[in-house]
A and B are shown apart, each in its own frame.
Chain A
Amino acid sequence: MTAALQMQGVRKNFGPTEIIRGIDLEIRAGERHAIIGPNGAGKSTLFHLISGKYSKTAGRILLNGTEVTELQPYQINRMGLSRSFQITNIFPRLSVFENVRCGLLWSMDYRNSFWRLVDTERALNERAAQILDQIGLLDRCDLPAGVLAYAEQRALEIGITIAGGADVIMLDEPTAGMSHSETEGVVDLIRRVTEGRTLVMVEHDMGVVFNLADRISVLVYGEIIATGSPEEVRASKAVQEAYLGTVQESGEEVL
Chain B
Amino acid sequence: MSASETTTARVVAPDTEPAWKRVADDQMRRGAFTRTLPMWVGAFALLMVMPLLFPSAVGVTIMNQMGISIVFALSYNMLLGQGGMLSFGHAVYFGLGGFLSVHVMNYVEYDGWWLPLPLLPFLGGLFGLAFAIPIAGFSTRRAGTVFAMISLGVGELVAACSIIFVAFFGGEEGVSGDRTMGPPVFGSEFLSEVEVYYLTAVIVLISALFMYLFSRTPAGRMANAVRDNEERAEFVGYSQRYVRFVSFCAAGFFAGVAGGLFAINYEILTEENLNLVTSGWVLLMAFIGGVGFFIGPIVGAILLTLLQTVLSNHTELWQLYVGILFVLTVMYAPRGLTGLVMMHGPALRAGRLGMLAVPYAIAVVPLLALLAGTALLLEMGHTANQSVVGESEAHVFGLTLDVTTALPWVVAAVLAVGGGYGLYRIAQYLRDAFAQATGPAGGHQ
Chain A residues within CB distance 8 Å of chain B:
51, 53, 72-74, 77-78, 82-83, 89-94, 97-98, 101-103, 105-107, 110-120, 122, 125-126, 128-130, 132-133, 136-141, 149, 151-152, 155, 160, 163-164, 185
Question: B218 to chain A: which residues have CB within 8 Å?
Answer: 105, 110-114, 116, 118
Task: Determine which of A128, A133, A141 lies in contact with B18 in the assembled complex, contact meaning CB atoms within 8 Å.
Answer: A133
The SS class assigned to the A binding surface is helix
CB <8 Å contact, A91 and B232: yes
Shortest Cβ-Cβ A-B pairs, 4 listed: A119-B31, A106-B237, A136-B3, A129-B20
Asked whether, in the complex, the Cβ of A112 is within 8 Å of the Cβ of B5, the reply is no
B220 at the interface (CB under 8 A from A): yes
B226 → chain A closest CB, angstroms: 9
Asked if A107 meets B237 with Cβ closer than 8 Å, knowing A112-B246, A113-B218, the reply is yes
**Count of B residues near A, CB < 8 Å?**
46
- 17 new A-B pairs (CB below 8 Å) besides A53-B231, A132-B23? A74-B235, A74-B239, A92-B229, A94-B225, A102-B233, A103-B236, A105-B221, A114-B217, A114-B246, A119-B27, A119-B32, A125-B24, A125-B28, A130-B20, A132-B20, A149-B2, A152-B2
In the complex with contacts A114-B220, A126-B24, A149-B1, A120-B32 CB distance below 8 A = yes
Compute how far the CA of A51 lies from the CA of B31 in the bound complex, rounded to whole angstroms: 34
16 contacts between A and B (CB under 8 A): A74-B238, A74-B239, A89-B231, A90-B229, A91-B228, A91-B233, A102-B225, A106-B236, A114-B218, A114-B246, A117-B216, A126-B24, A130-B20, A136-B6, A138-B20, A139-B5
Number of A-B contacts (CB under 8 A): 157
CB of B219 within 8 A of chain A? yes
Contact A114 B250 (CB under 8 A): yes
Q: Tell me, yes or no, whether B222 is within 8 Å of chain A by CB.
A: yes
| Interface check B317, CB cutoff 8 A | no
Q: Establish whether residues A118 and B217, one from each chain, have CB atoms under 8 Å apart when the complex forms.
A: yes
Judge whether B232 and A90 touch: CB under 8 Å. Answer: yes
CB–CB A139/B2 < 8 A: yes
A-facing residues in B191-243 (Cβ within 8 Å): 213-214, 216-222, 224-225, 227-229, 231-240, 242-243
CB contacts (< 8 Å) of B349 on chain A: these are: none
Looking at the complex, which one of A106, A119, A128, A152 makes contact with B216 (CB distance below 8 Å)? A119
Main secondary structure of the interface of B (DSSP, over half): helix
Rounded to whole Å, the gap between the CB of A51 and the closest CB of chain B is: 7
Q: Which B residues form the contact surface with A (CB < 8 A)?
A: 1-3, 5-6, 9, 18-21, 23-24, 27-28, 30-33, 213-214, 216-222, 224-225, 227-229, 231-240, 242-243, 246, 250
Asked whether, in the complex, the Cβ of B238 is within 8 Å of the Cβ of A106, the reply is yes
Partner of A72, one of B27, B220, B239: B239
CA distance A92 to B84 in the complex (A): 14
CB of A213 to closest CB in B, whole Å = 23
Chain B residues whose CB sits within 8 angstroms of the CB of A53 once the complex forms: 231
Cβ of A137: which chain B residues have Cβ within 8 Å of it? 2, 6
Known: A111-B218, A113-B218, A115-B217. A74 touches B27 (CB 8 A): no
A138 to B18, CA, bound (A): 11
The CA of A83 and the CA of B234, in the complex, are separated in Å by 11
**Complex Cα gap A21–B236 (Å):** 29
B19 touches A138 (CB 8 A): yes
Among candidates A91, A115, A118, A129, residue contacting B21 with C-beta atoms closer than 8 Å: A129
Give A120 Cβ to nearest chain B Cβ, in Å: 7
Give chain B residues whose Cβ lies under 8 Å from the Cβ of A111: 218
| A133:B217 contact, CB within 8 angstroms | no
A102 touches B222 (CB 8 A): yes
Q: Which residues of B contact A136 (CB under 8 A)?
A: 2-3, 6
Please give the distance in Å from B250's CB to the nearest CB on chain A: 7
Given known contacts A91-B228, A101-B221, A149-B1, is B32 in contact with A141 (CB within 8 Å)? no
A160 to B3: give the CA distance in the assembly, Å: 17
Bound complex: CA A163 to CA B238 (Å): 14
Please judge, given known A-B contacts A92-B228, A149-B1, whether A105 and B27 are in contact too, CB under 8 Å: no
Contact of B232 among A101, A116, A120, A160 (CB under 8 A): A160
The answer to whether A122 and B222 touch across the interface, beta carbons within 8 angstroms, is no
Hey, which chain A residues are within 8 Å of B1, CB to CB? 149, 151
| Chain A: CB-nearest residue to B228 | A91
For residue A126, which residues in chain B have a CB less than 8 angstroms away from its CB?
20-21, 24
The answer to whether A138 and B221 touch across the interface, beta carbons within 8 angstroms, is no
CB of A141 within 8 A of CB of B27, answer yes
List the A side residues contacting B21 at CB < 8 Å.
Answer: 126, 129
A160 vs B250: C-alpha distance when bound (angstroms): 28
A118/B216 in contact, CB under 8 A: yes
Q: In the complex, which residue of chain B has the Cβ closest to the Cβ of A145? A: B228
Q: Which residues of A contact B227 (CB under 8 A)?
A: 93
Q: How far is the CB of A151 from chain B (nearest CB, A)?
A: 8
Chain A, Cβ-Cβ closest to B225 = A102
